[in-house]
Amino acid sequence: MWYVVAMVILMATLFWALWDEAVGQRPWKAYQRTWQDRYTAFLKSNVKTDQNAKGLENSSIQRATAAADQADATAKPRREELQKQD
């Protein structure tokens, strides 16, 4: 008998908690929807800026790669000389 009473109480609190989560009083839901719309619009407006930044990043990577290749070519004779000594 007590198990049935406890089960009914637990089931009632479960359904109340689910209802409260889905439909109940959560005043920030409207704010979340508004923020999502505004942030999505902001991200869409900044796509061109992001593409420009990626172009700059790629050019700086290419410059760094070229500098590394040049340094490797400059150091190659000395490195081969040191390797022959061993």
Q: Is 35 exposed, middle or buried (0-12, 13-18, 19+ CB in 10 A)?
A: exposed
DSSP assignment of 12-23 equals HHHHHHHHHHHT
Q: pLDDT (tens digit, 9 = 90+) per residue, 37-84?
A: 999 888 887 766 666 666 666 777 778 888 888 998 998 988 888 888
Domain encompassing residue 22: 2-85
Q: How confident is the model at residue 86 (pLDDT cuts 50, 70, 90)?
A: low
Q: Give the tokens for residue 51.
A: 């593409």
Domain count, the chain: 1
